Each structure stands twice: as structure tokens, then as C-alpha cells.
Structure 1
Amino acid sequence: MTIDLRSDTVTRPTKEMQQAMWAAELGDDVMGDDPTVNALQEKAAKLFNMEDALFCPSGTMTNQLAIRVHTQPGSDVICDKYSHIYLYEGGGIMLNSLSSVKLLDGNRGRLSAVQVAEAISPENDIHSTLTRLVSLENTMNKGGGCYYDFEEIKAIREVCRAHGIPLHLDGARLFNALVETGESPAQYGREFDTISICLSKGLGCPVGSLLIGTKASINKARRFRKVMGGGWRQAGFLAAAGIYALDHHVARLKEDHIRARQIGDMFSDKPEVEEVFPVDTNIVIIRLAPSVPETDYVQKLAESGIRAVTFGKNLVRFVTHLDFTDEHLNEMQRRIG
């Protein structure tokens, strides 16, 4: 038995999801007439009480489309220094939008309203970039799956509103936060101009993400998606998986979180482990002792059939998901001792 905890993107569609996919009604999404894609987009927009949504191949694309929509060449994007949009999207902010970044040092990747307010460029300073977007990430990948206090999000929104700056959310794992806090998608729809959600992580779809926003922003994003080569044809097969996931795979995320905390407990008393980051959702990060190289440790785990990833100097990450069951958890406990 291989225990794969490299990411929650490694899941396979369940039998029920596969059945929904093969039963999907199809059209040509570039021409706007794939009924299943349209149904997914309408469902997501309604869920967040926003006007429209756009189905895309990846969360990187939905994030980059949002940045392209909101910014202009020579502007800047405020985000945390560990943000996915900065660290893991191939320099897309600079390449796609010709914009710079202002990197802030948040609390495990979470920004405060005070930090955002202090980072906004003065409009009348010709030496400075113009701040045209603030981007938050929830849950925060590099922060070990931590999530925002919603009151802080509302405070950040007020700062953005006062300066006329849009607010974007990289919500790749937003539903992981929602099942912990009890907040609703519609509450988030009120605070953000655009939201990116990923269907292929905790929700278990084979591929796909959604960008949600106003009709005007989604119309612009659709044009940029085409420019990036992101137009797809009979995408209803994949959209059907997204509809199924939103209907059936949200509440069960709690199970992933419970198992993640148990993994954290497994490593808490290991002599080679210096620290286990707080486990808030489905991500577990351990800090190894300085004498233990993370690459060697991950290799040792792989030799015992446990797959994880290095996550920085002396850091190792595990991510639970719907294909990681109690049986896998018990076997993992047996193997690591």
C-alpha cells in the first residue's frame, strides 16, 4: 500500500463522480454552448452570490486571469511573501500582467488590514508603482493550511474600498476554511471582487478551477483565457465532476482535517522532529532538526511507502485528502512507529 500525501491533487475521481462525468451533456465551451460547463459556472456564481464564473484548467490560470483583469502594466499587487501567486506561478504576475509585487510578512501568510494600508502606494508619487490589487490566500499553503479570521478580511476590504483597490482571493482551499469556521461562500462573495477556487484539491476533481466575479470581470477574463490558450471544447466531462464535488465533497473535508491532526500527533514526539506546525485544516508541516536534511527524510519516508514533499529548509509537508482513509492512517502509524 502506497500512502501518497504529496498533495490533495493526487486524488482519483470516485466511481460516483465518474458516472456523473460520463453522463454529462456536452457542447463547445469556446462557443459558449457546453450546457454542463454553463451549469457549473452558474452554480458557483450562485453559491457565492456573485454575478458570473469562468471554468479554467488550473488555479494558476484563474489567479493569473484575475491579476490581469485588475491590474495594468507598471502597477503592483500587494500579497504575502509566501503567496502562491508569487512563489508558485512561474513569475506570472510579471510575465502576464507586467506588474510588480509588494511582498508583506504576514502571520503564517495572513495579512492584516494595518499592513495592507501601510503598503499601498501613494497615488501622486511618480517614483512609485501604483497599487492596483490586494490578493489574499485562504487557506494559506505555506502557512500550514491556516485560515483567516473573517473580521480581518472585512477590515482589509474596508482599506481596499477606501483606496478604490480591488480585492482578490486565492481560495484554492477555501472550502477547507469554510468547514472549520462555519462561514458561507456568500459571505466571501460580499467581500471580494474576484475569487479563485480549485476543484482538483480537496474536492477531488481530476482537473479544474473557477474564477468568480462580476459579469464585467469575467467577460474580460474569458478573453484573456483565450489569449493564454485556455479555451477548451467539450469540457462538460470535467465540469460534471465539479458539480458533483460541490454537491457531495465539501462537508467531508472535515474528515481530512481530523486525519491531518492525527498525523501531526504522530510526529510530535519524534526525536528528529523539532516542530510540528499548528494543524488547522488538511496540511501538516514538520520542521526537522538542523542535522536532518529534508531531502533525505523524504527519501526515507518514500522507501517505507509514504510519499511527502520537501517544503523548504528542514521542512516536510503532508496533505490529507479523500483517497487517504483511516486504513491508510493506521498503516502510516505502523510504518513510522
Structure 2
Amino acid sequence: MQKQPELLSKGDKVGIIAPSRVITEEQMAKAFEVFDEWELEVIKGESLFAKEGYFAGTDSQRRADLQRMIDDPEIKAIFCARGGYGMTRIIDQIDLTNFIKRPKWVIGFSDITALHLALNRKGIESVHGLMPVQYDYMGVEESLASLRQLLFEGTVRYEVASDANNRHGECTAEVVGGNLSLVAESLGTSTEIDAAGKILILEEIDEYLYKIDRMFMQLRRSGKLESLAGVIIGDFSQMKDTQIPFGKSVFDLIAAHFEGLEIPIAYNFPVGHEARNLAIPIGRKMKLEVLKDVVRLSDAV
């Protein structure tokens, strides 16, 4: 049974850090307005607006910021400002001892998948959801509302239109996963994904089709796709092809890797690098229903 952090309440202190790519104050302006509307007290990371080339500060600065937020007993949630790249450079130096004793919500996706995987290995729920840099993007209202609902109310029940590529069925299992690149990168490390008997969520952005195929082959060869309870394929945005075409669409490519598996599979579920990015509790036992006309993802009863 995964540990669930306490729900947020008005007046709670929350931390904002940038553990990956550099971010500016202008890019965070809308997020501060949202947190003010939610009546949360925001504690900024010491290196939130630091810059070290591509990164939001040096590895040691970003690691120290995350560690401070983990260890501060007054902080009820940690919002990762944006993704990009950088979390895997610091994840092995993070001490989760205090986090395990007093779990708190961690929110983010994309590169933050590396942190979700680490928390999942420790048996703690976290949130795959919209990040502060995106709060002023067009069309994110539903995504932001789903995040608030999950953090303050704790409940999840989503219904989306069924995709023609879906494989129908139902299952109830723990949800794991996130960004495909980060999931594949975890193999052979201390935070390697444990997907057996679980619902695997995957999404990706800005990759060549042959690289998508290669990462799925890596997951297959390592046995990660053999014992799944179900699969949710989110957005695979801005896919690229080479001069010699790969010859398949991204979803046809993905479907080939699940041939022979009699499990429910939902394609084009609204999770990933698009405006509609519903908040998903990673590590929570959930019910997935992939039906002819609708796909439902909800809390297990």
C-alpha cells in the first residue's frame, strides 16, 4: 500500500523549485497568481531563478534546494517549476529519509518522472501533472482544475472519448510511469521502474520515431512489458521522422510492441505535453475501464 501525503488546505506552505531547466521570474508570474488564488503560502527555492548554462543552477544548488524542501516539515507540497533535463543528475544524491517519515506531494511531469520513479520505489504517491511554467498557457484550465481537485480533494474520476486504436478491457492496479525517455533511462539504476502487475502510463515529446521504437524495444528486452495490468498511452507530441521514413505512425509503432498481450490499452489519453494534461496520482491503485465509447480512470473502490 502506497503512502498518500496529506491533502492541501488553505494557508498551507508549499515550495517551488527548479530541479531541471532554467526558468525566469516572468515565466513564473501566472503561477504565483494561481497559488495566491488557492490561498497557499509559497516558499521559493533559493536557486529557483539561478542559471548555469541550460540548468537552473549547478547540480549542487538544485540538489540542495530539493533536499531543503524535502526536509522542511512545514512544506506540504513541492511544485517543480518545469521539466527539461537535469533531475537524473541529482536524484541519486537525494536523501528521502525524512520524506518517508512525513510524505508530501511532489508535482510535475516530463523530466520530473525521475523523481516520481524514486518516490514510487519508496512507496509514496506523487502527482504527474501540470507544472507552474505552464499555468499561463492557452487551454490549460481543465488541467489546472484537475490538479487542484487532486491536491485539495484527493479524488480522481476522468472520462474521455475512446480512441479507435484502443484495446478494450478493465483492470484495477497501481499506476506507474511518465515520460518514456525517463522510464527507459531508469533501467539498470536504483530507481528502475517496477511495472509488473501495474498500469503503465507513457508520454513523450520531440523525438524521432526510430528512437521511440528503440526505447520500447529496451522496455521489451528488459521484460517491463510482459506482466502489465494495463497501459495508458498519452500524448506523443511533435514526433519527427528521418530522411528514410520509419514507415509507421507513432501509435501503430507503439501498438506493435503490445501484440499478444491481453490487457486494456488506452491511446491518446490526455496526459503529456499538451494543454489537456490531467493530473494523475502516480503510485495510487486505480480502475481503468477501456470501453467502446469511453475510457474511464478513477479511484479504486
The TM-score with structure 1 as length reference comes to 0.33
Structure number with greater Rg is 1
Please identify which structure carries the higher helix content. 1
The TM-score with structure 2 as length reference comes to 0.36
Ranked by relative contact order (alpha carbons within 8 Å, sequence separation 6 or more), the top structure is 1
